[in-house]
Each structure stands twice: as structure tokens, then as C-alpha cells.
Amino acid sequence: MSLADRVLGPRIPPAELPCPLPAGIEVRRNGWIPRVGGWLMGGDRKPAGGVTLRRTIVVPEGAVPSESLLVHELVHVEQWRDPLFPLKYALQWVRHGYRGNPYEVEAYRRQREHAARTSNARTPRTP
Ligand SMILES: [Zn+2]
């Protein structure tokens, strides 16, 4: 078992995911990281659906991430390209809370756009 497996939890095989991910991105299941994420989100204190740590998306134990969740987390993967992202995210979280954090606003906006695109594509055309 690798160090990443021990610390971050077992990797979900790509075939079990609802959609292919860009190369180098992995999804793992973990008991405590989504709990910390849930605490940061406030509210009902349920575990977060996903937490992104650089290029690793961490979901709760037993969870199968939806395509919509992966779209949201992939925005955070992009944001992590900025080496100062963790610090900037934390500062915005302090100033604006979870939902008002501009990094989250961006992730939720792209998630909604994706949902609108895919629901249009899947709606059968009627004469
Ligand atoms: Zn988010």
C-alpha cells in the first residue's frame, strides 16, 4: 500500500467513475478529509461531497461521485495550479464564508452551466 493510499485512502478505479477525468487526476475515498470539508462548509455538518487537494479529489467512504460533483471539483483542480491557492482560498473563506468565497462561486457557476448543457443535450426534441 502506497503512502498516498494510507493517507488519502484507496483510489476509485476510473471505470467506476461516471465520466473520464483528465490525465493525472485521481479520485479517492476517505473517512476524515470530507468531514473536515463538511465542517468548513458549515450548515448541517454533513461530510462534504468532495474535497480537492491539488490533483486528488477526495470523496466520503462508500460514495460514488456524480458527474456534477466532479465538474465542481475539477474547477478546484484548476484553481490549485496557483501555488498560493490554499492561502488565498483560506483568506476568502475567512472574509466571505464558504458559499460567498469567490473560488466556490466560480465552481458552483461552472457546475450549473454544465448541468444546463447536459440537460439540454438529453432532452428529446419534440415536434
Ligand atoms: Zn467547492
The pLDDT tens digits for 4-59 are: 899 999 999 999 999 999 999 999 999 999 999 999 898 777 999 999 999 999 99
CA of residue 12 to ligand 1 center, whole Å: 20
Confidence of residue 126 (pLDDT cuts 50, 70, 90): low
| pLDDT tens string 76-86 | 999 999 999 99
CA of residue 105 to ligand 1 center, whole Å: 8
**Residue 123: predicted pLDDT:** 64
The side-by-side arrangement of strands in the sheet containing 56-60 is 26-30, 56-60, 51-53
Where is pLDDT greater, at 72 or 40? 72
The three three-digit cell numbers of residue 93, written as one number:
473563506
Confidence of residue 122 (pLDDT cuts 50, 70, 90): low
Other Cβ atoms within 10 Å of 113 Cβ, number: 11
- Residue 55, helix vs strand vs coil: coil
Quickly tell me which residue has 463538511 as its cell: 38
CA of residue 27 to ligand 1 center, whole Å: 15
Res. 121: pLDDT tops 80? no
Res. 124: pLDDT tops 80? no
**Residue 42: predicted pLDDT:** 86
**Residue 28: predicted pLDDT:** 97
